[in-house]
Amino acid sequence: MSKKKIVLTVIASALCGSMLTVLAAGVFLRSAGIYGDDVLRLFGVMKFIQSRYVDAPDTSVLVDGAIDGMVASLGDPHSVYMPPEVFRTLRQQTEGSFGGIGVTMGFKDGTVKIISVLDGTPGAAAGLRAGDEILAVDGIPTNELPSEEVALRIRGEVGTQVTLHILHDGAEQDVTITRDVIQVHSVRGVMVDGTTIGYIRIASFAEHTGDEFAAEMARLGEAGMTSLILDLRENPGGLITSCVAVAEQIVPAGPIVSVINRDGDTEVYRSHLSARKYPIAVLIDENSASASEILAGALQDTGAATIVGTTSYGKGSVQAVMPLFHDDGLKLTIAKYITPNGRSIDGTGITPDIAVDRTPADTTDVQFEAAKKYLEEHPNL
């Protein structure tokens, strides 16, 4: 027998031997109607890799890769597999403080753009602004990284540095920033000078946003507030439960949002507020997404507020976060939501009642001024 035939025979024997156990088990499972050919292919390939790959692989790493590939194949940027470091980062984002630069990013059409920059953070001190595009992190192009890994690489140990290659005002530049502890304070409020208009900005919907919003509403009410500007610009969303906690304080009794899963089952979140207390103008922009769109949509549909600004981002889906067994996790789109009037804004966004664009040439916040003027002209809505 020729050497070529011997080699082919060895390879064929190895392949058959590697697959035999899995195939036998698969036949049994298929007879029970549990698994199909696709599962046999998956475990057959895994068994072959384990037995024949030139370097002995780590089985856990193989499983991680398989999960990551499955989720990536959905083509949904909001569904991601999160290895332990990324999953830890996600928990920190909604629960506490972390080492970072103080920016929130949006991932759309293959680009990474800054949605918001927290005041008093290293990102703000470095001159980063909403709309800046992040092209690379420490020399690694962002288009070569999963979205969650971009965030992971920007965050890190307090006192260490990260270099971002960004597109800022049409020009590319490198910005080196020293990470610091970022405290997540999602709500702040002030009285507008010379008026009885209150102003509250919600930067994101984190764990305690509902309580923070209630405290600011009470404080401004005691200061004489008679109407409210609610600023949801550059708000990327967050926890739907926190969004509902805010909505319950300003949306009149009735539906806030309806969440519909793949089977058509619907969960309706409702407000029991007898009536709104103040006229409200809501500021949104193209970076207002997810939970901020839920709140703006509920206020718009119920006539409880007038929406001012530019059309929002258009993220009308709901994700569930599931811890796995190795300190990793899965974030998966499990439902879509509709506003009280039955609107799905996924891909279209919330259209403002009063459209006001911003440009770099503006010397004042024209959207804020438009909201203020509207409330001054309509004090008893």
Q: Which residues are tagged catalytic?
A: 290, 301, 315
The whole-angstrom separation of Cα 220 and Cα 229 is 12
Is 232 within 8 Å of 284 (Cβ atoms)? Answer: yes
The whole-angstrom separation of Cα 364 and Cα 278 is 25
Angle at 187 between CA 182 and CA 189, to 5 degrees: 125
Question: Which of 71, 64, 143, 137 has the alpha carbon at shortest distance from 100?
Answer: 137
Q: How many CB atoms lie within 10 A of CB 157?
A: 7
Q: Compute φ and ψ for 366, nearest 5 degrees.
A: -65, -30
The whole-angstrom separation of Cα 103 and Cα 151 is 10
Buried b (16+ CB within 10 A) or exposed e, 267-284: eebbbebeebebbbbbbb
- The helix/strand/coil state of 270 is strand
- The helix/strand/coil state of 172 is strand
